[in-house]
A and B are shown apart, each in its own frame.
Chain A
Amino acid sequence: MITLGHYLLVSGILFTIGFAGVMLRRNIIIIFMSLELMLNAANLSLVAFSRFRIQANGLPDYNAQVFVFFIITVAAAEVAVGLAIIVALYRARQTTHVEDISSLKF
């Protein structure tokens, strides 16, 4: 029997994977993908919650789904801007590696 907990766990794992990716990978593009993973993990939980909380009118709580909608939009916009920055970086430095962009420090 599938409970709310299962979904939350899956989303949690996904979130963690994403975070691990941010911490472990050095390729900025992949880091960016990992960030997407984290956002979607959040989405999964949200949807799960919305499904779990049946409203009085017997429908799922659509507020959460609206929020998911917003998150997806924001994520998309973020990807656009982020990739633009990355491209600019690549033009300037011919690299997408985090080690290569550590001139500002201390």
Chain B
Amino acid sequence: MQRDILIGGKTIRLEVNGDHVSVDGDDLAVDYQLISANELSLIVEGRAYRCLLDRTVTDEAIIVAGKRYPFAVEDPRALKSRKARGAGTEGPLQIKSSMPGRVLRVIVGEGEDVVPGQGLLVVEAMKMQNEMKTTRGGRVRRIAVREGDTVNAGQLLAIID
């Protein structure tokens, strides 16, 4: 079994053969047991890990020791191959809604320049107003929603160039 895993901005090539796994060419002794559909007991060279698979509407990640590692599988045989959150700092930035809600206010217009941390629009959900900010500076290419719109989880709100 062979997989390329995109994690932390790097691609790791894995090959699992019985009780050994090759990680970018390094050979490691592994032992593993699936505890449930999203919980794995993994022993690598004697070190024990509880690995959790967390699939949300926006990404797919492994949680190990309380830390979350979004990942993507790059393999023609894999069914799912999503873009890992945070991976890829190049190209336009898509601002997406992480949950359903209502667009209360649009703060910036298309074509405006924004700085990192600047608020773009306000979405209300569960009676809380949340300002959606950009993590990068740039020019607003597109505002994909209007005030009063109801948005779904994962729906595109804006694009920053």
**Chains A and B are bound partners:** no
